Structure 1
Amino acid sequence: MSHPIRIGVQIQPQQADYAAIRDAVARAEDAGVDVIFNWDHFFPLYGDPDGQHFECWTMLGAWAEQTSRVEIGALVSCNSYRNPELLADMARTVDHISGGRLILGIGAGWFERDYDEFGYEFGTAGSRIADLGEALPRIKARWARSNPAPTRDIPILIGGGGEKKTLRIVAEHADQWHSFADLEVLRRKSAILDEHGVAVGRDASRIERSVGVEGSPEDSAEALVEAGATLFTIGVGGPDYDLSLVREWVKWRDARA
């Protein structure tokens, strides 16, 4: 199955006033991106570790009202921070506010400071991945019982690259898979995802491959497309939210259309 080439931007909700974040979202939509992501943490990941930072899902509700065209979501929401049924209802609500433009990005979680300071049990990588695998059927079951139902089958994006467990969960449940890997690792893990798809009886070619990119599209874009990636996301941070690289990737997308 072929997927269209799409460009995303991750507006990192850190080191900036919310007015700057709101402005960056407006500029990104005007620039022609397809998806605008934030992330689900409680403290900055870069720069001053105690700098300004804002919460993920309340922000997505605001973005749902602010924007009119782009899809929105977290890259990615941490499964550990919310009961699966609550997360499902939050996602359904943002889906309705946005008119059907939410992507439920989700992962097992990894940033220990979030867990420690907000009182969550960190556990182990294995236990967090197992929790993710248990949560996804519960999320889907809650959507099926919701009134009103979601406006569409909310796409599920799973971030992570564990070859034995995480990629199997991706094969079972995801519409999109976000790889944090370089080109060669993307190729290898994408092939492993295909194998998991066969094992669980699902056509893994239907799962959109998403990657984070940092440099110019001239450096890597076509090779990444050849490796199967079709959603390319550029991360930008505060306080300035420079979108110049984002515009390069949008221009590349449009030129090859």
Structure 2
Amino acid sequence: MSRPVRIGVQLHPQHAPKYGLIRDAVRRAEDMGVDVVFNWDHFYPLYGDPEGAHFECWTMLGAIAEQTERVELGALVTGGGYRNPDLLADMARTVDHISDGRLILGIGAGWFEKDYQQYGYEFGTAGSRLALLKESMARIADRLAKLNPQPVRDIPILIGGGGEKKTLRLVAEYADIWHSFADPDALHRKSGILAEHCAAVGTDPAAIEKSVEWPGADKAAEFLPLGATLFTVGVGGPDYDLGPVEEAIRWRDSVNPESVAGIS
């Protein structure tokens, strides 16, 4: 492996009627030794009661940045059509400073139609949303270069999705991390396509970290030969049971035998 295995936790910001439940889950996750704390960027629950409790993504990231000391943090992923991209770049720069350089800027094209309809955004088509994401990535990069003060570090860009013609091209052009929802066979095939896009734009595919959802300790090793090193466990409210995260951390430490828990 070219880089150590890392474990993320995605705390779904839904069905938690008080923010304190999420704050406590963040504390427990960092104390447990996770490498990254993610949330997601939606306005309504994705499962359970569709009108259940839900909190907004980026204000929460500011709070997580202030609360934590070690973990990286970000959205898995920001809806590309929900915010002016120049504003999003400024928000990311600000959260990066609050966290002293621990932000990951995760972004995707968006897909949850209810978010768009209820908040007055144009849903369009998959093609139009990807076109908007392409435009947004260029504007985000341009705005980040102009901001004063500059980000603490070159903020890593995570792009989520697996579209072979357009999304993977954007990954090749802009991403430091690629989050795929693919199984091992599909990840192998899509990695080859990503490598072709990287060759076309002059990017080293080995420089792009591969991120996947946690498949369980019995299956995670199947992803290692494919280059996946960031595994994220999804956890829902209101209880935020981190038992599966403990399993993932034990597995991480078994394949990173020289690592200190939580520090890659």
TM-score range, shorter chain: over 0.9
Q: Secondary structure at the match of 1:10?
A: strand
Q: Secondary structure at the match of 2:203?
A: coil
Equivalent residue, structure 1, for 2:221: 222
Is 1:77 paired with 2:64?
Answer: no
1:111-148, Cα deviation, whole Å (9 max, x unpaired) = 00000000000011001101111111111111111100
1:89, 1:101 → 2: CA distance? 15
Return the TM-score normalized by structure 2: 0.95
1:35, 1:148 → 2: CA distance? 25
Equivalent residue, structure 2, for 1:246: 245
What is the Cα deviation at residue 195 of structure 1?
1.0
Q: Structure 2: which amino acid aligns with 1:46?
A: Y
1:51, 1:130 → 2: CA distance? 32
Q: Secondary structure at the match of 1:81?
A: coil
Q: Structure 2: which amino acid aligns with 1:245?
A: P
Equivalent residue, structure 2, for 1:147: 148
Equivalent residue, structure 2, for 1:234: 233
What is the Cα deviation at residue 109 of structure 1?
0.4
1:181-223, Cα deviation, whole Å (9 max, x unpaired) = 11111111111111110111111110000001243x1x21111
Equivalent residue, structure 1, for 2:15: 15
What is the Cα deviation at residue 250 of structure 1?
0.6
What is the Cα deviation at residue 63 of structure 1?
0.3
1:36, 1:230 → 2: CA distance? 15
Q: Is the 8 A contact 1:60 1:94 kept in 2?
A: yes
Q: Structure 2: which amino acid aligns with 1:102?
A: L
1:58-109, Cα deviation, whole Å (9 max, x unpaired) = 0000000000000000000011000110000000000000000000000000
2:128, 2:20 → 1: CA distance? 38
Return the TM-score normalized by structure 1: 0.98
1:145, 1:74 → 2: CA distance? 23
2:28, 2:161 → 1: CA distance? 29
Equivalent residue, structure 2, for 1:193: 194
Question: Which residues of structure 2 form unaligned runs of 5+?
Answer: 257-264
1:180, 1:129 → 2: CA distance? 17
Q: Is the 8 A contact 1:8 1:234 kept in 2?
A: yes
Q: Structure 2 matches for 1:166-205, cutoff 5 A? A: 166-205=167-206
Q: Structure 1: which amino acid aligns with 2:229?
A: T
RMSD, matched Cα: 0.9
1:22, 1:182 → 2: CA distance? 32
Question: Which residues of structure 1 form unaligned runs of 5+?
Answer: none
Q: Structure 2 matches for 1:45-60, cutoff 5 A? A: 45-60=46-61
1:203, 1:159 → 2: CA distance? 18
What percentage of aligned pairs have identical amino acids?
70
1:53, 1:141 → 2: CA distance? 32
Q: Structure 2: which amino acid aligns with 1:181?
A: A
Equivalent residue, structure 1, for 2:104: 103
- Matched positions, count: 255
